[in-house]
């Protein structure tokens, strides 16, 4: 009987090709099918950044690239339908005995579409083994770029996905030693105003595209007010700095 | 004139040798001196786990291993004195033109001694270039071991270093989508009681030594009550699971 393929969710790190793990490179190399979310993490040229990383290390000629469509929508039904469809496309390969590697920037279980896909794959192919290969997150790479510790022993950390609700950010700044504000680009003016108000603007560092050629580190975050910022932007505020 | 060496803080990942990045392996390979905290992260045999990872990949014969003493104390003066002494030992090498790689489990700027050392090295050798190479954190590896997402888009995450103050944990469980309790071994009974009380015990997963041969994943966290647990233990609670 044909053995069902395995699905791997593989983190390829934050953007620098060398920040992929040895395990991630091996698993990708051994797999005939590479699944990527269509242009969700695109570089300047519109290509999947995760794929750009991988092709610097691994020959892709003999591999099938499976592009999966994940629309950027808040329509719950459309979202669920797209995930079911993507899982279906993956399961066709698994059921034909082919391993599939879903590559993702950063870590596959920390803000990645891979986590959303897993329940659908489990439903469509319950016999398939699913495995995750962890990766270096963007916030660890950003801390390295800024040479600013995220936390030392005994310190608590809050990671806030996008600072839409400033009151949540205010509460986190009060209760936690370090606050990481992901995807801060859309709300930079409000965040800067809050940091100035709370006297924390000198404890903050802004990093965008850590490890990419476009990497940018800004310690004077107040200077960012009014700027149009990159989508891959975050701010780390560490009170003990 | 002799060029001052560089100091690298290098994350070697959570414990599985293959989860080191290509960059970390290269930087360690290129450096003549490897600094390790004395037995702070020891394996069953009392050896530095970070060094055990590295020697599976890199020949260490020609390298100098610089053991640094970081006493486990709450005495602030003793702590600062030990860091100054460790920085002094590192700077002797840097000033002699030798690069030093400080290896650390996980990531060098997320709960690592490296972050504490940096200000002392900057003071003792202001001319030295200091660089961090990020690594895979224990919580990402634990999520992979448990195949449980830490967070999906839009979800917030709290990382609490050790659950000494249960009220902080209670507040985090209420305000955040996901809570990661690090080093949970000493307070497991109180944490389990809180999870049962808040109805979250089925949303939690316990992982110790993710990626090590001793790795353990427990989804029925209530069963852990009263157990003597490993030091490298954490619990991930994700409400949306």
Nearest of A102, A56, A72, A68 to residue A211 by alpha carbon: A56
Rounded Cα–Cα distance for residues B239 and B173 (Å): 8
**pLDDT score, position B39:** 60
Same structural domain for residues A75 and A101?
yes
Paired with A34 in beta bridges are A65, A101
Spans of chain A below 50 pLDDT: none
Rounded Cα–Cα distance for residues A230 and A195 (Å): 20
Interface test with A, best of B14, B74, B115, B154 (most A CBs within 10 A): B115
**pLDDT score, position B74:** 80
Same structural domain for residues A154 and A129?
no
CATH at residue A93: 3.40.1010.10
**pLDDT score, position B167:** 92
Identify the domain boundary among A81, A105, A133.
A133
**pLDDT score, position B40:** 55
**pLDDT score, position B75:** 86
**pLDDT score, position B1:** 67
Cβ separation of B20 and A25 shorter than 8 Å?
Answer: no
- Structurally, chain A folds into a number of domains equal to 2
This complex has an ipTM of: 0.96
The per-residue pLDDT for range B120-137, each reduced to its tens digit, is 999 999 999 999 999 999
* Residue A240 contacts residue A152 (beta carbons within 8 Å): yes
Residue B54 in any domain: the answer is yes
Q: Which domain holds residue B117?
A: 7-133
**pLDDT score, position A45:** 65
* Residue A38 contacts residue A233 (beta carbons within 8 Å): no
Identify the domain boundary among B103, B133, B163.
B133
Interface test with A, best of B11, B13, B22, B205 (most A CBs within 10 A): B22
SS3 sequence of A96-109: CCCCEEEEECECCC
Average pLDDT, chain B: 93
**pLDDT score, position B114:** 96
- Which of A131, A134, A156 is nearest residue B136 as measured by Cβ atoms? A134
Residue B109 in any domain: the answer is yes
Residue B1 in any domain: the answer is no
Residue B117 in any domain: the answer is yes
Same structural domain for residues B11 and B125?
yes
The per-residue pLDDT for range B26-82, each reduced to its tens digit, is 999 999 999 998 865 555 567 889 999 999 999 999 999 999 998 877 888 998 999
Using CA coordinates, name the residue in chain A closest to B159.
Answer: A157
Nearest of B87, B107, B93 to residue B63 by alpha carbon: B93
Instruction: Determine if residue A200 is left, alpha or beta; phi over 0 gives left, psi from -120 to 50 gives alpha, anything else beta.
Output: alpha
* Residue B140 contacts residue B207 (beta carbons within 8 Å): no
Same structural domain for residues B227 and B158?
yes
Identify the domain boundary among A98, A133, A168.
A133
Q: Which long-range contacts (CB under 8 A, 24 or more apart) does B208-214 make?
A: B208/B232, B208/B233, B208/B234, B209/B15, B209/B233, B210/B14, B210/B15, B210/B138, B210/B141, B210/B142, B210/B144, B210/B145, B211/B13, B211/B14, B211/B15, B211/B16, B211/B19, B211/B141, B211/B145, B212/B15, B212/B16, B212/B49, B214/B44
CATH at residue A194: 3.30.950.10
Contacts B174 to A, Cβ<8 Å:
none
Residue B166 in any domain: the answer is yes
Rounded Cα–Cα distance for residues B106 and A83 (Å): 32
Same structural domain for residues B24 and B104?
yes
Cβ separation of A158 and B155 shorter than 8 Å?
Answer: no
Same structural domain for residues B126 and B146?
no
Same structural domain for residues A24 and A104?
yes
């Amino acid at each position: 009987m044909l053995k069902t393929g395995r699905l791997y969710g593989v983190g390829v790190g934050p953007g620098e090709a060398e920040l992929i793990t040895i395990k991630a490179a091996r698993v990708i190399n051994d797999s005939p099918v590479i699944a990527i979310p269509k242009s969700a993490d695109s570089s300047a040229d519109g290509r999947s950044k995760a794929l750009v990383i991988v092709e610097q290390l691994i020959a892709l000629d003999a591999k099938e690239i499976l592009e999966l469509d994940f629309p950027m929508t808040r329509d719950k039904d459309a979202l669920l339908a797209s995930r079911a469809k993507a899982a279906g496309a993956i399961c066709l390969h698994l059921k034909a005995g082919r391993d599939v590697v879903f590559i993702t920037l950063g870590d596959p279980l920390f803000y990645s579409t891979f986590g959303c896909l897993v329940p659908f794959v489990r439903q469509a192919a319950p016999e398939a083994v699913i495995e995750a290969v962890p990766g270096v997150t963007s916030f660890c790479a950003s801390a390295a770029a800024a040479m600013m510790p995220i936390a030392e022993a005994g310190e608590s950390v809050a990671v806030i996905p996008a600072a839409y609700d400033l009151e949540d950010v205010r509460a986190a700044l009060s209760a936690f030693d370090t606050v990481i504000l992901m995807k801060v680009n859309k709300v930079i003016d409000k965040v800067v105003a809050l940091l100035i108000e709370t006297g924390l603007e000198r404890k903050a560092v802004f990093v965008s595209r850590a490890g990419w050629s476009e990497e940018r580190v800004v310690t004077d975050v107040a200077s960012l007010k009014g700027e149009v910022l990159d989508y891959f932007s975050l701010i780390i505020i560490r009170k003990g700095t």
